[in-house]
Structure 1
Amino acid sequence: MRRSVVPVVALLMVCVLAACGGSGKKKRSRDARPTIATTAGKVAPADRDEDAGPARVDASPSSTRTPRRKVPALTCADLSDAELGSSGVRYRDYPNPLRLRDGRWTGNGATVLLQKPCATGDLDGDGAVDAVGAVMLDSGGSGRFWSLVVWRNVDGQPRYVAVTDVGDRTPVQSIRIADKRATVVQLTRSPGAAMAELDLRRTAVHRLTGARFPAISHTDVPYTP
């Protein structure tokens, strides 16, 4: 009886050791991995699965977009040495561009003067600050021909693009740019009035369309000098 008990006890001990795991190592569960804080677009080594391949890096368009280069704004002072006219859009009847010097050009008995009314702002929606100035041509006689001239901002420099004639002896008083439009106030005359008579104050709204700068609306009120 005592001899049969020993083999049974030995068999039970073998079963217990096999159930507990002789190696003493436990298999790590993938669902029990520790969480490690990461920075945007990077994967921490502890958060990678050995079977998942190389870590993925965020390459969304927002992370690779090149920022727009900021262009210096034009100022009214920049116009004093600008050009008037171009090969495609003449200033008055001059075949070649006229270069202003300190806001003035003279030639063939005529004088072109950059006047004080001026405004800056975005006229074409490209985000750069453009400029509109009033220019007066003194032809040497009785005429004083006023124009509105548009200079676009090209890499921070004024480039002539458009001109609109606004009359003889009809001075521009002010220019304001907002919402890609220029509001211009000038003195003018009613139909039938003498050339020396100014009896209306006109407020006109101009908009740049390609190489044109037409008035798209205007209102007149009586003016008394």
Structure 2
Amino acid sequence: MRRIPSALTALTLLCLLAACGGGQAEQSGAAPTVGPSAEPSTASVLNATTPEASPTSETPAPQPKSASPTASAISTTPAAAPAKKPMTCAHLAQARLGSSKVPYNGYPDYLPLADGQWSGEDGATVTLQKPCGIGDLDGDGADDAVGAVAINSGGTGTFYTLAAWRNSGGTPTFRALADLGDRTPVVSITVADGRATVVWLTRGPGRGMAELNIKRTSVYKLSGSKLTEVSHTDAPYNP
């Protein structure tokens, strides 16, 4: 029997091993081809479930503010005008008579009445008369006063004058004068509708100073610093 050379035997064995092992290596050792995954990625899932907020250029509308409780509680009713302080005829007893701009009987300054009277160094005496009228004379809504004063300088004559005082917070402030004449006493004074109605006694032409035969009703209106007579009516007077 012929012997196979050892070299050839080794080569044949090596070939067989290579043929068998190669197929198995090809089947088991082949690296799997990496292809695109059919499963959704984590990023795509997040993008699908969480929509991205798109920027906007619109400014958010301001929220309306609720009214303040204090503001809503404020009343819209206008405040009532302060009440005028009253003035009475009794206030005139301590009033000032005349002024530097409107002098009484030529005196350069006012005369301060005390209990309705004033006495000067010249011997003259001024006395506030009882007739007095209270009412709004200048249209400011406060009651003013119109009174009468008489001055006697020591002789037989007694000169009567009307005086008007403005109501300044309940205090009489001298305003105007109107002379009536010698021995012409005042009977009554009323003030209404911005006018003063004065009833006083006087005389007709040709009568003596002591003869009073006319009862005159004069209507006066305040005109600056004067009481101006706007009308009068006469009636016979028999004492």
TM-score (norm 1): 0.72
**1:124-143 correspondence to structure 2 within 5 Å:** 124-143=138-157
- In structure 2, which of residues 108, 111, 124 is the aligned counterpart of residue 98 of structure 1? 111
Paired position in structure 1 for 2:220: 206
Structure 1 residues 123-167: Cα deviation after superposition (integer angstroms, max 9, x where no partner): 011111111111001121111100110000011100001010011
1:69-128 CA-to-partner distances (Å, cap 9, x unmatched) read 222111000000100011211111111110001000011111000000001111011111
Residue in 1 that maps onto 2:235: 221
Give aligned-pair identity as a percent: 54
Q: How does 1:160-199 map to 2 (within 5 A)?
A: 160-199=174-213
2:163 to 149, 158, 169: 149
Alpha-carbon separation, structure 1, partners of 2:159 and 2:76: 54
Worse-matched range after superposition: 63-72 or 142-151: 63-72
**What amino acid does structure 2 have at the position aligned with 1:149?**
A
After TM superposition, what 4+ stretches of structure 1 lie above 6 angstroms from structure 2?
Answer: none
- Whole-Å Cα distance in 2 between the matches of residues 63 and 152 of structure 1? 34
- Which whole-Å CA distance do the structure 2 matches of 1:105 and 1:181 have between them? 28
Tell me, what secondary structure is at the counterpart of 2:233? strand
| Secondary structure at 2:90 match in 1 | helix
Q: Find the aligned partners of 1:63 and 1:219 in 2 and give their Cα distance.
A: 52
**Quick one: which amino acid aligns to residue 203 of structure 2?**
R
- What is the CA–CA distance in structure 2 between the aligned matches of 1:178 and 1:51, rounded to whole Å? 61
Letter in 2 for 1:77: A
Shift of 1:55: 4.1
State the number of aligned residues: 175
SS in 1 for 2:223: coil
Give me the whole-angstrom Cα distance separating, in 2, the residues matched to 1:148 and 1:157: 18
CA distance in 2, matches of 1:210, 1:120: 19
Residues 1:110 and 2:124 are matched in the alignment: yes
The unaligned stretches of length 5 or more in structure 2 are 1-61
The separation in 2 between residues aligned to 1:92 and 1:70, in whole angstroms, is: 36
Supply the RMSD in Å over aligned alpha carbons. Answer: 2.2
Distance 2:107 2:231 in 1: 29
**Greater CA radius of gyration, 1 or 2?**
2
Q: Distance in 1 between matches of 2:65 and 2:223?
A: 56
* Stretches of structure 1 lacking an aligned partner (at least 5 in a row): 1-49
Q: Which residue in 1 is equivalent to 2:58? A: none
Residue 82 (structure 2) pairs with residue 69 (structure 1): yes
